[in-house]
Amino acid sequence: MATQPFDDRDGFIWMDGALIPWRDARCHVLTHALHYASSVFEGERVYGGNVFKLSEHSQRLETSADILGFKLPFSVAEIDAATNAVVKANNIVDGYVRPVAWRGSELMGVAAQATRIHVAIATWQWPSYFDPAAKMKGIRLDHATWRRPDPVTAPSHAKAAGLYMICTMSKHNAENRGYDDAMMLDYRGFVAEATGANIFFVMDGKLHTPKADCFLNGITRRTVIGLAQARGLEVVERHIKPEELAGASEVFLTGSAAEVTPVREIGEFSFTPGAICKLMMDDYAAAVRKPPVSAAA
């Protein structure tokens, strides 16, 4: 099904300190980020007009920029305020938010420390992917060929644009083979994550999830760990070998876009989404709809 191009929409985008018409949010073809991936971003969800974990996302955007060696020209508080302003300007009740920061076009070459740092925030309507009954069927994952890199070879703990190149390639390969997504291993051969979401396994009544030592420790991942522990579920963060998937009874993904998404298949391994998947889906759905706590509270 065709969708409206993202460069040709009505509404407003916040860019470099001001709300501007959507179609005017442009950058030059010689922008450094386009050539050298000097860009960081976030993915956030709006529920009932409120951005879930907004300040955590804004802080991570700043941290990711620091890791890549540039400083954002706006504070976390200013990015929070800008995000709320663009959500309000576009009348978003349930949607998605994409903040992005990048090096501009003042210099072209590997070294570009004098480039201007730009920040933009866009938002659009995005209701939940599935109704709960359909979602409980679970999605199908292929095995990805590409692996998450060693942290000494790439800035693994930044949400950096360049790190997603192998994710796009892996997801395209999976879709071409009839799957919904792909499960990636890390550079050592342990289970890492899906192409844009963290992964959890139910094994012997406990939740097991890969140790986030070479990939992003997702905000949704941390939220779900907290929700599971509040339910009295034991959560084990460890290195997981691919062959251990045979011992998992349930599997689910977590992420701002994915929320909590059950998995029914990973290559040759099959699973039946059940009580724990449903519990985490319900608890997460309730958590994101709670009104945010005000700074004065």
Of 53, 135, 159, 171, the catalytic one is 159
User: Is the same domain home to 151 and 232?
Assistant: yes
- Kindly provide the b/e burial profile for residues 263-283, where b requires at least 16 CB atoms within 10 angstroms of the residue's own CB: bbbbeebebebeebbbebbeb
How many CB atoms sit inside 10 A of residue 223's CB? 20
Does 116 map to a domain? Answer: yes
Q: Tell me, what CATH number does 259's domain have? A: 3.20.10.10
User: Is the same domain home to 150 and 113?
Assistant: no
User: Is the same domain home to 72 and 170?
Assistant: no
Residue 20 sits at the vertex; the CA angle it makes with 104 and 113, to the nearest 5 degrees, is: 15
Among the candidates 97, 125, 153, a domain finishes at 125
| HEC per residue, 194-239 | ECCCEEEEEECCEEEEECCCCCCCCHHHHHHHHHHHHCCCCEEEEC
According to DSSP, residue 39 is labeled: E
What's the rounded Cα separation, in Å, for the pair 12 and 24? 9
pLDDT digits (tens, 9 = 90+) for 107-129: 999 999 999 999 999 999 987 65
Does 140 map to a domain? Answer: yes
User: Is the same domain home to 163 and 217?
Assistant: yes
Q: Which residue range forms the structural domain that includes residue 112?
A: 12-125
Among the candidates 110, 125, 140, a domain finishes at 125
What's the rounded Cα separation, in Å, for the pair 62 and 40? 9
User: Is the same domain home to 85 and 160?
Assistant: no
User: Is the same domain home to 141 and 281?
Assistant: yes
Does 106 map to a domain? Answer: yes
User: Is the same domain home to 93 and 77?
Assistant: yes
What's the rounded Cα separation, in Å, for the pair 80 and 90? 16
pLDDT digits (tens, 9 = 90+) for 230-280: 999 999 999 999 999 999 999 999 999 999 999 999 999 999 999 999 999
The pLDDT of residue 296 is 47
Q: Tell me, what CATH number does 78's domain have? A: 3.30.470.10
Does 148 map to a domain? Answer: yes
The pLDDT of residue 2 is 55
Residues 6+ apart with CB under 8 A from 202: 208, 248, 249, 250, 251, 274, 276, 277
pLDDT digits (tens, 9 = 90+) for 170-210: 999 999 999 999 999 999 999 999 999 999 999 999 999 99
pTM of the predicted structure, to 2 decimals: 0.94
Cite the beta strand spans of 30-170 per DSSP E.
Answer: 39-41, 44-47, 50-51, 95-103, 117-125, 139-143
| Residue 135 annotated among the catalytic residues of the structure | no
Does 297 map to a domain? Answer: no
Number of domains the chain contains = 2
What's the rounded Cα separation, in Å, for the pair 177 and 209? 26
